[in-house]
Structures are given as C-alpha cells and as structure tokens.
Structure 1
Amino acid sequence: MTLDTVKHAAETPDVKLPWAELGLKEDEYERVREILGRRPTGAELAMYSVMWSEHCSYKSSKIHLKQFGEKVPENDAMLVGIGENAGVVDVGQGYAVTFKVESHNHPSYVEPYQGAATGVGGIVRDIIAMGARPVAVVDPLRMGDAQHPDTKRVLPGVVAGIGGYGNCLGLPNIGGELVFDACYQGNPLVNAGAIGVMRHEDIHLAKASGPGNKVILYGARTGGDGIGGASILASETFDDTKPSKRPAVQVGDPFQEKLLIECTLEAFAEKLVVGIQDLGAAGLSCATSELASNGSGGMRVELDDVPLRDSTLTPEEILMSESQERMCAVVEPEKVERFLAICEKWDVIATVVGEVTDGDRLEIFWHGEQIVDVDPRTVAHDGPVYERPYARPSWQDALQADDAGKLARPANSAELREQVLKLVAAPNQAAKSWVTDQYDRFVQGNTVLAQPEDSGMIRVNEETGLGVAIATDGNGRFAKLDPYTGAQLALAESYRNVAASGAKPLAISDCLNFGSPEDPDVMWQFAEAIRGLADGCLELGTPVTGGNVSLYNQTGEAAIHPTPVVAVLGVIDDVARRTPIAFQEEGQLLYLLGETHEEFGGSAWSQVVHGHLGGLPPKVDLAREKLLAEILISASRDGMIDAAHDLSDGGLVQAVTESCLRGGKGARLVVPDGLDAFTFLFSESAGRAVVSVPRSEELRFTDMCGARGLPVTRIGVVDGDAIDVQGEFALPLSELRTAHEETIPGLFA
C-alpha cells in the first residue's frame, strides 16, 4: 500500500477516508480540509479525530466553561490556572500544591480494573508534569444500583484497579466518595484526583520553546492498547447491548509509572527540562500538538524513532495510541546526554524523537516521508465550538412539584428508630471501609486525616506542620431537581468539609459528569450547573484551577443524573490543630451550628424510606457557608472544639452516628425547641455542622458564634454507649455498628 504522505494527499483529493468511523462529523471533516487546503493524510486525520473529540476539545462545553475565567477572579494564592495539566496554588512557606480531578468513566465500565487503574495513572502524570511530587490521590465514585448484578462486576474491579495502581505507586488514598443510584447503571462514574507538592521555583509548563531543543519521548513503549481509548470512547454514548470496546481500554503498569515519577523529578531537580507533557488521552497526537502550539516555534518529529511494543502498528495507530506511562520532554541539546543517563539509571526507555523548529508547523515523518504538516494550534486548540441548543426540560416543573413533604413520616418513636437504622444501613450511608481498606491511606507517613473523615489531609512540611486538605462532593439527586442549586450545594459541601477539618478553603477543581450534549435537556442541566458553580465560586472567593468535563454518560435515552463533582483544596498552618469527626471524650457538649428547616427534597430519607425523588433541594446560603467555615477554622485553630462533622447526606442522625462510631462514644441528644424529632434527625438543610466542645471552652465558643451572628444550639452531650434521643428512643452503638458496617461487605465481599 502506498504511504499516505502529504504530497500524496495533495495529489489525490478524492480518496475516501474513514472520518465517520473515527468520530468526526461530516462538517468537521470538511473543516479539516478547509484548514489544510487539501484532504488530510491518514495520520493527520487520526490526529484531528482524537484531538477534536468531545473528551479532548470540550467542543460542546467550552462556551459555558468560559464563565470560570470571566466571573471568578483569581485569588492571591493562584499560581497556575485553567489551561495547564493541573492548577497550582500557593500554600505558604515557599510551597505550592497542584491538584486536579478527571474522569475515566467509559473505560471503567468496559474494563473496570484497567479503566480505573489507568485513571489513577493519568491524573498522577498530570501532577508530575507540573513539576510536583505526587503525595496523595482521591477517588469519587458513582455506581449503579447496589443490588444489580452488573454493579457486582464493576465496583470490585474499579476498587481493585484504584487500590492496585495507587498502592503500587506508594500514594495514600485519602478521600473520595461512593454513591449508588440506578441512574448510573450503564454509566458508572470513576473520577480520580491527585495532589502534588513542589517549591514555587519548580513549576513546569507544557510548552516547546527554543529552536534546536530536542523532543524526548520516555517511559513505556507504545502499543496497540488504548487506541482512541479515552478520547473517542468517552465521546459517544454506549448502546443498550454491551460493553464492546475492550481493546480501546488502556493497560497500566504502576511499577513503570513509579520509575517515571522518580526519573522525571530527578531531571527537574537538575534543571534539564524546558517543557513537559504527559501522554494521556490522544497520546502522541496530544503531546506533540499541545507542546508545539504552547511554545514559540514549530516541531519536527520522526515517528520511526518511537519505541514500539508492536512493530506492526501503523503511523495512525502510533499517533492515536493511549498506551500508559509515557511522557514527552523538551530538552536543550547540551543537556540531552544527562537526561538520557538519568532515564537509564531508572530503567526508563528514552528516545529523541524530534526537535523544536523555528517555524510554526508540526511536521511528522515516517520512513523518510512527511505524513503530517499542520498548524499545531488547529489540532490542539482550534477545534469545533458548538453552541448546542438547550431548554428547561418539559418534565422539570412536575419533578419539582412532586414535593417530598407529602411523604408519610414516622408515626411514633418506634418507627422513627426503625427508620434511623434503615438509613444508616442503606448502601449510600453505610460505612465504606470495605472499599477504603483496600487502599493504603497512610503510606509515606504524612497522612493526618483520611476516609471516613470529612476531608483528607496531608502534611506538607514536617518541621512546621504545614498541611493541605482536600474534599470531593457532589449530589446528583439535588442537581437533578435543580442543577443550578445542586452545583452550588456540591461546592458548599466540599467547602464545608475542608473547613470542618480546620483548613482554609483556597481553590477548586471540578469533574462535570453529564449525559449527551446532543440532548437539549442535558445541555440545559450542564449550562445551569456551570452557571451555579461559577456564581458560587465568585461568592466564596474560590477560583477554579482546572478540571474535566465528561459527557455522553448516557445509554440510549437514559442519561445519568447531572453530577458535578467539586474538589476543594484548603491549607492549614499546623496539622496538629486538625479537627477529626470522632467524638472522643465523655462529657463534652454537642452543639449544632446553623439552622434546620423542613428540607427533604432529594434527601437520603426520601430515597431510602420511600424510593422518592422530587421537590426542591435544600436552599443555599453561601454567605452563611463562609461564616460557618470561618467559625470552624477559628475554633479548630484556637482549641475550642475537639470534633466537627458537617451535616449533609442523611442529616444530623447520619453525622452523629458516624462521629459516635468513629470515636466509640455515645451521645445523648435533646430535640431543640421549635423542631420535631423527625426534622431534627433527618433534615438536610445546608450550612450546618455538629461539633463537640470541651466544657472549659463552652463560653468562649458560644460567645464567638454569637458575636459573629452564627446560630448555635446546644443539642446534647457525649455520653454512654448509645445514641439516646431523649423522649424518643435509644440505639446502642453495637446495634448501630452492625447496621452501618455490614451492608457493603454483605453486598460485595
């Protein structure tokens, strides 16, 4: 077969190319022809198809995502914002922290173990590419019905993949979530986040500058796994029949990645790298086009020099392969020998595959013939921009009118007790230790908080105690009822979780999981969620450092609930001042911060007891959330509280159950005046937390709350070996523990 060179493409304009099979629309293909002034070569078509995919180009979402830059000002902590591999914030003492959350949803449904494992590997390489040492990972997960046979296929594989890869890397898994809902049955969400630490001067960016500088591909050999994997697999809906795309799922090797981390950090330490890019979605197509377009010149690449695992791969397959554990570095000629020596020391394959040129073209050669001649910006940044039609769904009003207030409430204390037990044993509220025990949460010795705490926390500086906290949250049920409010509730909960641990929230990353953008209902949900998140970040003063959009989480006509997952990063001056969730000392006083209202739309109670979704989600008061956070941080810093737990999914009774079981101490609770026991226990009003206060600090603490205008109500005392709601019922901790801790192992062990 004749090699499809640039010259050949210019001479054979009528050759038919498989643009549709590669995921391009007809008008997109015509746009490529217009850009090039000719038909593309097969290699060029491969590059445009993966880089213009939904997953890589954000073509349906970028007009909405602009709000994050337009509305939300960067705060003083921001060092690197949207557009790089990951955002970077200043956490003080000369340290910077980089963090990001991404999705590996579609690959993880097709092949749960490898899909989840390579999701961890990919997000960790994003962190390395910024110049940072990875220090922790998190894993927000959404699965189908916990009783469904396919959930028993997907979840154990996903958990094993996350644990297997992260544990082998020696990275603690300090946070995340596990939520079950039938809406995720055919489209489970596997989001992965990572945190890295560096000094300010060590920040690196993805750009190829300096004509004559060499382009070095290093890491694993390129194979046939993952060809069009994340890029194309995540840019269309599944059909109703099967997970059918196993060859498109990448295969990970955490030991190779560990070598890659150490090799890269040593090269950084010796100042050998001008620019760097990891190879994730779209592989070499992405790395070469992004490095070239972000730099000051062009790039010439010799594809023959790419180390291969499979010698039969075509140029198109090499460019599209998403084989894992690979990175691309731009290195000055006089430093190449030393760079290669470091790679050899770490047993990492490294090859010079090209160089930066003084032109403005990305040129790729194969067997001495030119097969790519493009403006790299047209590949990496100038893809299609769609203004997808969107409209409020016709069913939205009826859904919101179906208020949870009409649902039957417990008629007596015995029913109330029974429903508490049912709630804390439900899969979403039950203990997740079956999952988290498969993760190493304390490797490296710097983890100070991990699941099931409100937020994970890592010590950054052993001498000063400087640390960072991270929490991820998102409630798809709330977002289904009202995507604007639901997105703000996700932000508020994550913000509140960080503050409850004693850390000051600084910035966010997000992972926005939605159905098909070609559905106007879904695009309305997406647009509203972005608007809510941008408005919320503006009010809270938390800039968006970056994130990920995952669309086409849909099977046929059935889309997932809109699920914006928000990760908030915070800083704490001294991790010794952290606040855990566990009630630790008998006799300490329990205070409820914030106001409780009859808010049950989308609540855990309505789902668990009645299988109901309808009404409006809880109201959001972001000014109150800021005040609550300030109180929690001040109280932690000044030693006024010994435990704090935010109130969210499941309400007060869920939070108190977790705090009691975590500390092995019971609680006597008194229903406050003006509330009935049911609302007191199950309401999911936002902007609330429960804290335990030493008696010696009670006056100082309540005076602070009063002076700042935060409602505070004494609701009980840490005492005994039961949760005793005065005048209603008592539940021994032993009975609660059995109910809370046996559900998930019973389903999946």
Structure 2
Amino acid sequence: MSLADSDRELVVSELDREPTRAEAALFENLWSEHCAYRSSRPLLSAFDSEGERVVVGPGDDAAVVALDGETYITLGIESHNHPSYVDPFDGAATGVGGIVRDTLSMGAYPIALADSLYFGEFDDEHSKYLFEGVVEGISHYGNCIGVPTVAGSVDFHTDYEGNPLVNVACVGLTTEERLVTAEAQEPGNKLVLVGNATGRDGLGGASFASEDLAEDAETEDRPAVQVGDPYAEKLLIEANEQLVDEDLIESARDLGAAGLGGASSEMVAKADLGAHIELDRVHQREPNMNALEILLAESQERMCYEVEPDNVERVREIAERFDLGCSVIGEVTEGNYVCTVEESASGERETVVDVDAYFLGEGAPMNDLESEVPPEPEPDLPDADLTDAFDAVVSSPNTASKRWVYRQYDHEVGVRTSVGPGDDAAIMAVREAEQGLALSTGGAPNWTDAAPYEGARAVALENATNIAAKGATPLAAVDCLNGGNPEKPDVYGGFTGIVDGLAEMCETLSTPVVGGNVSLYNDSVAGPIPPTPTLAMVGAKDGYDAPPLSVAADGDLLLVGDRGLAADDVRLGGSEYLAQFDGSDRFPALPDDPAALIETLAAVADEDATLAVHDVSHGGLAVALAEMVTADAGLEVSLPGDDPAGTLFHEQPGRALIQTDSPAAVRDAFDGVAPVVELGTATDGGRLVIDAGDRTIETDAATIRERRATIERDLE
C-alpha cells in the first residue's frame, strides 16, 4: 500500500509533518475511491433523497424509512465485486455479512436479502465457475444466519468476463425508540469492539476495491479478501438485538472497508469529535499483529459501539453470553483521532495515529474527470425467423428461469415471506404495521450498455413496475452504481449517464433515493464493464396478498403501457433479441407519464376482478407470455401492429399484462394514462398460441419449462 504523491502533499500540509506508516495507510484507504467517492460524489447531488417518510437518508450505514408512525424499515445495498472475482465463495458470502451488519448498526433486525449478480457469457467455463461459487457463498451465509433471500436478478454479458458484479441489498425492521445511528454522541463515552477476533484477512480491501483488476488478481490479491463466519454473525445479530432492547448503545458502526480505522474514525468525524484508541486492547486471533494490521484488517463479524461508561460491563456480559469477543478499546474525545500501541521493549505507549478525524474522513479532494457522451447506436435489425427467435429469446440464460439460483436460498425463514423469488417482486409481511412490503431489485446491462441515460431511466421504471404489479406503490430506493475506470472519458461518460438517468426517473416517480453504494474501477484486462446501475426499490401496500403472475383458466388478457405500439414506433434497442442475433437499434421511448401509470397499475392490480398481473420487460412480450402459462391454463393471443418481431421482442419497461374479468374497467382506469391493447383470452390446458398474422407460434407449458431450464440443465 502506498499513498499517492498528490495526496501525501495534502496530508503533510495538514499535519505539518510526514505521516506515520499507519497514518499513510489509513489515508490511502479512507481516501480511496471505494470510501471517499472521489470520482462519483460530484455527480450524486442529482439524486433527490428527501421525502416525508425518510427518517435517515444517505451517509449512514443504512437508510431509514417510516412505514407508519411507529414502524421503520432500514434499506441498504453494497457491492463485493473484486473480492468475488478473486474468491467467489468468500467474496460473495462476506458481502452478505457486511450489508447485514450495516442493518444491525441502525438498531434494526434484518428481515430480507436481495442479490443482483452479473457475469460473463454463460457458456464460458470461468463465468460458470464464478457464478456457482458466488451463489454458493450467498446461500451458505444467508441460510446460516437465518435471513431470507427473497428477490434478485442474474445477468450474463460478455463484458463482465474479467470482472463480475455482486450487489447485495438488505431490509431491516426497527422502531423510532430502537433507532441507532453512526454519529458519536458524547465525549467520555467508551468505544467497545464486539464480535470476532481481529486477524490479518482483508488487509487493504478498500484500496484493492479502488483499482482495476490485474491479470494475476486471483492469486496476488487473495489476502485482500475477507473470510466470513456466518455462525458468528448469527450470534452478533442476536447480541445486537439484546443490546438495542436494553438501550445500551449510543451509536454504532460495523467494521467493513478500512476495518477498525474506518469505522471508529467515521463515527467520531460525523460529530466533529475525536477518539483515543489503544490498539493493543483489540482482541486478536493472530500473534504479533502490528498497529497498521490491527487498524486496517477487514476481519468479519465485528461491530464498534459507543457505550456510556456505566453500561460497559453489561455490554460485556451480553457479549460473553453470545460467545463473542469484547474489548473496550478507547473512548470518544474532543480532540484528534489518536491511536496508540504499547512498545514491547519500553512498556511506554507509542502514538501511531494523531490526525483530525474530519480531515481523515472528508479531506480527500474530488476528481475532475473528462466525460464523453456515448454515441447513439445506428439501427441494424436482424431478419430472423420468428419461431426461431422466440425459442432463442425464451431460452437465453438472461431471460430463462433463475430457479437454480433461488431454490438454494432459504426464502421462507422468518415467516414473513408472502410472495417469494421468481415473481415480479417479493412481498414481506410487516405485521407490526399491517402492511405488505414489496421488494424489487435489479439492473439491465443490455439497456445501459446501449443507452446509459435512457437505460438507467428504464431500470428505475422497471423496478417500479414490478412493485406496482403486486399492488404496491413505490416508497424509497437505494442504488449500487457500478462502472469501469472513470479516468477513461468514454467510461466516465457512460457512468454519468446512468447517474442522471436513474436520478431523473426516481424523481419523476416521487421515489427518494435514500442511500447507496458506488463501485468504480471494475475494469480488467478484458476491458471495462457496461455502466451498471442496480436499484433496490421497496413499496408498500395494505395487507400481504397480491395477484399472481400466472394466468387462471378464464379471463381476458390486456397489454397496458406499450407506447411503441400506440405511436407506431417500436424500437428494439437493448433487447435480448438483438443480443441473440447481433443487431442494434435505438432504445425504446418510455411512457409520457410514468408516475400516473405506476399508480394506476398498482390500483388495478388490487381490484377483485384482476386475476393475474405480470410486468413486460426483459425478453419482451414473448418471455412475459411464456412465463404466465401453466400446466392448467394457457393463452391465445393475437399480436397487434405490422411488425411481429418488434411487438414480441422490444423491451420498453412500464408495460404490464393484466388478466381480468372486467376489461372495460381496466380501460377506464388507464384512460388518459396509458394505452390499453386487448391481446386475447386465457384457455384451459397449458398451450400458448400466438397469432402473428401470416404465421403462428404454438407451444405448451411443458415445452416452455424445458426451454427456460437453460441454467438448471447446464449446471446439473
């Protein structure tokens, strides 16, 4: 590890001396892109993070949003991209552990996880190796700690070959009385470290996450990857609950990026305070650890608590009850952030860090980078046989069933899951508020690769449509903004586009973006990743029931929201169809009034006459129709318009298929909001018949299931 020359000059100027080795390493990590957001922070002001239900917005370990006057939810998202390339199992597992501890530090109990995963082409053996290891790591950790994984997404794209993405979101539950933040409260309060012992794993993880992956990263960067212990995390979850129940915590921060140095300095910096930490008091699992290692190790399952002196002994008792380590490592002060260690020879204490905490946390200069707007793709449409195209798109790993993934996750533990994975959105029963909490998460690399700004707008609308399809209205969102090396103008231009597009659509939907994460330098010898915004959005509804995705055996099928058909301007840009047949096109135009569309769709989904609702997006109408058919109920539909391929395969979000007993009522509800097209009717049996004018596509539920089992069939 080494501090950049320009940063060293700033540090020397501020300290009026050369930094110690520990200080230099601490500045390098806390001023890294991963921690300081030096390239992205200038852009993030585009997001609207305020709202009447927002209790805690960006800047803490997780955001807090009110469901009602008493019940709060927490919402956070993190990336563990580079570690998951180097060690897919531990990299992904510790990503889960980290976002769960972010939830704990707010005084909340974790109730749901969601994961969005991005890999190289599915038929590449290394991509499969990473995919299998990541899913195993997530399932192992989540299942062991007893937190259900209820939603997520998986995408395959050639540009992730050298740098997969692992984005994990967590939802927690708390109340106004139990709420804790990461801001230190009072000088004289003790800093207490609770959890696993500190080792040498994860050293330099923050700086490792802030640089391109080298060709030898899988071997050379292995020490920067943490090793998780989910059983210790489960004990930490329950211990944290007890500590919060007894009101023993003044503030809290989990130990993630930059380890103890990052967590403890950030706590006091938020309050413009300082701390005095005696590093040799930290309970350690390896001998002869030096000050720098103790400060920066990212060993997992550790929390730093601010505790009033009179409560320290009770905190220690609770830690011992749960078989967790506990060290009183220092106290909050009004001075600098100071770390000392006892010299073995003299027995005197040596000061290894003595800096202003606010300067350490906020002093990094922001980058002023060049940006190039990506060019709009020229239309180059393939001329594929419609039946062959239907088969190719439905069986693509991107649109195929993800059952192989989510069946490895326990999605029912905690008995809150009303709608689980495999649907448009999950629904968790928050009985404390008598509300259903809908959760949708994901991105769309084909979209944002083709058109970063419009694609990111579409990602936000797509997640909102998923939520509305279950009868819920969007409440808040968090984002994980993934990009390549921002020092490349074209890469930074694409990243700027996804920030602006996501911010614009979320504001249009009156959905505050209350927190998030930025992961840049996702660049390898294979090149940069596509600009990839992952959005985790929650919505609320009365009750816990929702219309199913699958059709019943009788009723009319309507398509709502298709702007392209209404304007006779169907665009295929970003679609799986073009990815399969090597074409290009402009990105689809989005609805004129997306907020009204989402509100209306949520209301219609909750009507008694509504039998099924399914959003139309990835894979277009072809995939949505295929997913709705069951062994007991089929569909007979006629494609509108003069372009069967465009109608079947374009991927404009903000559309939904609605099966209803009252088509007139649906038309009335959407009158003046969005176009409504009658497609056909449901039938007995499991056949899907698509009349495309001069040709007909016919298949059945069993054949569709076999085609959509691409991932299961290949990996088993």
TM-score, normalization by structure 2: 0.95
The aligned residue for residue 380 of structure 1 is 361
Aligned alpha-carbon RMSD (Å) = 1.6
The aligned residue for residue 748 of structure 1 is 715
Deviation (angstroms), 1:276: 0.5
1:534 aligned counterpart, secondary structure: helix
1:724 matches 2:685: no
**CA contact 1:147–1:747 (8 Å) conserved in 2:** no
The aligned residue for residue 29 of structure 2 is 50
1:699 matches 2:664: yes
Deviation (angstroms), 1:633: 1.3
Residue type of the partner of 1:59? R
1:355 aligned counterpart, secondary structure: strand
Q: Which runs of structure 2 are paired with 1:156-171 in the superposition (5 Å)?
A: 156-171=132-147
Residue type of the partner of 1:547? G
**CA contact 1:640–1:701 (8 Å) conserved in 2:** no
Q: Which runs of structure 2 are paired with 1:401-480 in the superposition (5 Å)?
A: 401=378, 403-404=379-380, 406-410=381-385, 416-461=386-431, 465-480=434-449
Residue type of the partner of 2:556? L
1:163 aligned counterpart, secondary structure: helix
Residue type of the partner of 2:261? S
Unpaired segments ≥5 residues, structure 2: 343-348
Deviation (angstroms), 1:535: 1.8
The aligned residue for residue 10 of structure 1 is none
2:366 aligned counterpart, secondary structure: coil
Counterpart CA distance in 1 for 2:84 and 2:299 is 16
Please list the CA deviations of residues 560-604 of structure 1 after superposition, one character each: whole Å capped at 9, or x if unmatched: 11111111111112112x223121x21121110012342111211
Q: Which runs of structure 2 are paired with 1:338-417 in the superposition (5 Å)?
A: 338-357=314-333, 359-367=334-342, 368-393=349-374, 396-397=375-376, 400-401=377-378, 403-404=379-380, 406-410=381-385, 416-417=386-387
Counterpart CA distance in 2 for 1:148 and 1:343 is 46
Counterpart CA distance in 2 for 1:73 and 1:254 is 33
Please list the CA deviations of residues 432-487 of structure 1 after superposition, one character each: whole Å capped at 9, or x if unmatched: 1111111111111110112211111111116x641211111211222122211111
1:214 matches 2:214: no
1:388 aligned counterpart, secondary structure: coil
1:681 matches 2:648: yes
Please list the CA deviations of residues 409-443 of structure 1 after superposition, one character each: whole Å capped at 9, or x if unmatched: 43xxxxx2232122111111111111111111111
1:495 matches 2:464: yes
**CA contact 1:175–1:450 (8 Å) conserved in 2:** yes
Of the structure 1 ranges 198-207 and 329-338, higher mean CA displacement relative to structure 2 is found in 198-207
Counterpart CA distance in 1 for 2:217 and 2:170 is 31
Deviation (angstroms), 1:639: 2.1
Deviation (angstroms), 1:93: 5.2
Counterpart CA distance in 1 for 2:419 and 2:200 is 40
Counterpart CA distance in 2 for 1:239 and 1:489 is 33
**Residues matched between the structures, number:** 700
Please list the CA deviations of residues 671-723 of structure 1 after superposition, one character each: whole Å capped at 9, or x if unmatched: 23x34432332122232110111x2x3333332223x5331121111213110
Counterpart CA distance in 2 for 1:296 and 1:409 is 63
Residue type of the partner of 1:617? F
1:109 aligned counterpart, secondary structure: helix
The aligned residue for residue 555 of structure 2 is 588
Please list the CA deviations of residues 512-544 of structure 1 after superposition, one character each: whole Å capped at 9, or x if unmatched: 111001111111111122122222222111111
1:738 matches 2:692: no
Counterpart CA distance in 1 for 2:62 and 2:648 is 40
Q: Which runs of structure 2 are paired with 1:317-356 in the superposition (5 Å)?
A: 317-356=293-332
The aligned residue for residue 529 of structure 1 is 498
**CA contact 1:619–1:686 (8 Å) conserved in 2:** no
Deviation (angstroms), 1:377: 0.9
**CA contact 2:49–2:58 (8 Å) conserved in 1:** no
Of the structure 1 ranges 157-166 and 42-51, higher mean CA displacement relative to structure 2 is found in 42-51
**CA contact 1:146–1:747 (8 Å) conserved in 2:** no
Aligned counterpart in structure 1 of residue 582 of structure 2, from 585, 607, 611: 611
Aligned counterpart in structure 2 of residue 240 of structure 1, from 196, 212, 215: 215
Aligned counterpart in structure 1 of residue 276 of structure 2, from 291, 297, 300: 300
Deviation (angstroms), 1:391: 2.0
2:636 aligned counterpart, secondary structure: strand
Deviation (angstroms), 1:664: 4.6
The aligned residue for residue 100 of structure 1 is 76
Residue type of the partner of 1:710? A
Please list the CA deviations of residues 341-383 of structure 1 after superposition, one character each: whole Å capped at 9, or x if unmatched: 11111111111100112x2311111002211111001111221
The aligned residue for residue 7 of structure 2 is 28
Residue type of the partner of 1:423? V
Counterpart CA distance in 1 for 2:657 and 2:417 is 24
Deviation (angstroms), 1:209: 2.0
Aligned counterpart in structure 2 of residue 272 of structure 1, from 248, 252, 256: 248
Deviation (angstroms), 1:241: 4.5
Counterpart CA distance in 2 for 1:483 and 1:209 is 42
2:589 aligned counterpart, secondary structure: coil
Counterpart CA distance in 2 for 1:184 and 1:91 is 37
TM-score, normalization by structure 1: 0.91
Pair 252,664 (structure 1): closer, same or farther in 2 beyond 3 Å: farther
Counterpart CA distance in 2 for 1:619 and 1:252 is 45
The aligned residue for residue 115 of structure 1 is 91
2:629 aligned counterpart, secondary structure: helix
The aligned residue for residue 110 of structure 2 is 134
The aligned residue for residue 618 of structure 2 is 649
Counterpart CA distance in 1 for 2:406 and 2:556 is 30
Counterpart CA distance in 1 for 2:541 and 2:363 is 40
Residue type of the partner of 2:673? G
**CA contact 2:508–2:594 (8 Å) conserved in 1:** no
Counterpart CA distance in 1 for 2:172 and 2:650 is 37
1:363 aligned counterpart, secondary structure: strand
**CA contact 2:113–2:168 (8 Å) conserved in 1:** yes
Counterpart CA distance in 2 for 1:646 and 1:542 is 19
The aligned residue for residue 345 of structure 2 is none
Aligned counterpart in structure 2 of residue 713 of structure 1, from 677, 697, 709: 677
The aligned residue for residue 690 of structure 1 is 657
**CA contact 1:46–1:319 (8 Å) conserved in 2:** no
Deviation (angstroms), 1:296: 5.1
Counterpart CA distance in 2 for 1:88 and 1:579 is 28
1:669 aligned counterpart, secondary structure: strand
Deviation (angstroms), 1:730: 1.2
Residue type of the partner of 1:690? L
The aligned residue for residue 558 of structure 1 is 527
Counterpart CA distance in 1 for 2:174 and 2:706 is 43
**CA contact 1:516–1:551 (8 Å) conserved in 2:** yes
**CA contact 1:126–1:278 (8 Å) conserved in 2:** yes
Deviation (angstroms), 1:384: 2.2
Residue type of the partner of 2:338? E
